[in-house]
Amino acid sequence: MNLQQLCQNAIIIVKRVGAFIKHEAADFDRGRVELKGFNNLVSYVDKEAEKQLVEGLRNLFPEAGFITEEETDNTRGERFNWVIDPLDGTTNFTHGLPLYSVSVALMEGDEVVLGIVYEINKDECFYATKGNGAFLNDSPIKVSPAEKLKDSLIATGFPYYEFGLTQQYLQVLGAFMGKSHGVRRLGSAALDLAYVAVGRFEGFFEFNLNAWDVAGGAIIVQEAGGHVSKFTAGGDYVFDREIVASNGNIHQEMLDTIAEHWKEQLP
């Protein structure tokens, strides 16, 4: 299997779905938003975008199964699985805030081998395949060269339905605010990771995420020269619901800063 060619073909599908999302955003009806849970929004756009992605990717690579956010198809493959977030940043989308993306990854066993994050409104397509580097619209990208946390801009996400660890999280947030150039919250974890890969952020951390939020962006960070882990150095950052991504240089500082205040793990 030629991963690079597969990636280019998958990008065509992702961009086609992105065009559908952009078209729907022009006159989106907020009355058609549903709640999967408290503050956990889903729209007909999410669902239709996922259906289009699943159909296109199934035709492209029939051997692969799926791990999907909206459960259009969660039939697991024996070796390969696509991991799909059709609209990462649904809350932004429903409020007309133009920061959202399509995130697609391909896993071989437990390893992510291909990732695509498409920022729809700026038409920025970030992508990577294992061992072949990371790219933005066909130009190679690298993480920021910043050496220290004090010279870094950090991204994160705020809790919106898992509030039991809020006080710990706020302590971690405060520590990063005092040790860096600042902390930003975009509302799309996939974009946060892509922006680490291209050097707009030096680091990103968040908890209570799902595989489809992070799988695509994580390999792009790694192939751009960065590092990805859980809040501790080991573990499975794709499925264990916490992630730290950085340019590599500040990774240990980030882990140490989190460890000062983060004493609990998610159930």
In a domain, 197, yes or no: yes
Domain co-membership, 137 together with 214: no
In a domain, 27, yes or no: yes
In a domain, 265, yes or no: no
The boundaries of the domain holding residue 158 are 149-259
Domain termination residue (choose one: 112, 141, 170): 141
Q: Which residue type does 102 have?
A: V
Domain co-membership, 158 together with 122: no
Domain termination residue (choose one: 117, 141, 165): 141
Domain co-membership, 202 together with 88: no
How far, in Å, CA of 70 to CA of 84, rounded?
9
Residue 76: CB atoms within 10 Å: 11
In a domain, 267, yes or no: no
Residues 105-146 pLDDT 10s: 999 999 999 999 999 999 999 999 999 999 999 999 999 999
Query: In the numeric block, which tokens belong to residue 91?
Result: 């809350």
Domain co-membership, 134 together with 177: no
Q: What's the structural domain count of the chain?
A: 2
What string of DSSP letters covers 82-109? EEEEEEETHHHHHTT-S--EEEEEEEET
In a domain, 119, yes or no: yes
- Beta pairing, strands 33-37 & 40-43: antiparallel
The answer to whether 206 and 172 are in contact (CB under 8 A) is: no
Residues 71-108 pLDDT 10s: 878 889 999 999 999 999 988 998 899 999 999 999 99
How far, in Å, CA of 193 to CA of 203, rounded?
8
Residues 150-208 pLDDT 10s: 999 999 998 766 667 788 889 999 999 999 999 999 999 999 999 999 999 999 999 88
The answer to whether 53 and 46 are in contact (CB under 8 A) is: no
The pLDDT of residue 69 is above 90: no
In a domain, 166, yes or no: yes
In a domain, 266, yes or no: no
CATH number where 32 lies? 3.30.540.10
